[in-house]
């Protein structure tokens, strides 16, 4: 691959990675500890990621168990979960916090599938914008030591790269939608 395309492929890879991490935080009826990734807890005055102050496990397919390393953090963690967008009320026994994920309704599954599709479409738009930026930078090479044929080749390679990543995004959309719609 031409070295002029490398920065654009990096951007496309980052777009795909970003989409995949967004998909990890969408809960699909099964307990996934990644839904807690964005939650921070007030730990001695500084916001700290939940995973750094507690042990997070999945003892059952629809339950996440959070065991704080300090008992005093139970209330703080509960508060952080309630104020987040996880949408599940935590229960605790003084030592351990449990999040029980309810079965998703058909309607909720369809809404999540739409959301997955929308996030995927946004990623595709981002990929096309990266391609446009690449093509604009290649057009600026006109009149330099780069020939018009080389510029055309670069544009073709940028298109192939875009097609490759759009296909990966489509696969990610399909996989996540299938995961959500599976009861």
Start-to-end C-alpha separation, the chain: 43
Q: Across the chain, how many H-helices and E-strands are there?
A: 4, 6
Q: Which residue has the higher pLDDT, 49 or 121?
A: 121
**CATH architecture designation of domain 33-100:** 2-Layer Sandwich (3.30)
Q: pLDDT grade, residue 98 (50/70/90)? A: confident
pLDDT reported for residue 14: 92
In the chain, CATH 3.30.1360.40 covers: 33-100
Please report which helix (H) or strand (E) contains residue 49, including its range.
Answer: strand 46-49
In the chain, CATH 1.10.132.20 covers: 3-24+105-181
Provide the CATH number for the domain formed by 3-24+105-181 in this structure: 1.10.132.20
Beta-bridged to residue 42, according to DSSP, are: 47
Q: pLDDT grade, residue 1 (50/70/90)? A: low
Strand order in 54-60's β-sheet? 54-60, 63-68, 97-100, 91-92
The CA distances from residue 35 to 11, 130, 137, 169, in Å, are 25, 29, 39, 21
**Per-residue pLDDT reduced to its tens digit, 58-85:** 888 788 888 888 888 888 888 888 887 7
Cβ atoms of 160 and 154 closer than 8 Å: no
Nearest by Cα to 11 from 165, 169, 155: 165
Give the integer Cα–Cα distance in Å for 43 and 50.
10
The two beta strands, 63-68 and 91-92, are: unpaired
Give the integer Cα–Cα distance in Å for 127 and 173.
15
């Amino acid at each position: 691959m031409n070295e002029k395309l490398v920065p654009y492929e990096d951007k496309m890879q980052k777009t795909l990675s970003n989409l995949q991490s967004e998909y990890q935080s969408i809960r699909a009826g099964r307990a996934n500890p990644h839904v807690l990734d964005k939650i921070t807890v007030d730990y001695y005055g500084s916001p700290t990621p939940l995973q750094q102050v507690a042990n997070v496990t999945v003892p059952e397919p629809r339950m996440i168990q959070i065991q704080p390393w300090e008992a005093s953090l139970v209330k703080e963690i509960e508060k952080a979960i309630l104020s987040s967008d996880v949408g599940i009320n935590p229960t605790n026994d003084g030592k351990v916090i449990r999040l029980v994920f309810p079965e998703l309704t058909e309607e909720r599954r369809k809404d999540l599938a739409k959301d997955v599709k929308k996030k995927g479409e946004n990623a595709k738009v981002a990929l096309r914008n990266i391609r446009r930026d690449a093509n604009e930078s290649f057009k600026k090479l006109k009149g330099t030591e780069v020939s018009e044929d080389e510029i055309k080749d670069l544009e073709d390679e940028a298109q192939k790269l875009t097609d490759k990543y759009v296909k990966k995004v489509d696969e990610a959309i399909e996989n996540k939608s299938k995961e959500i719609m599976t009861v």
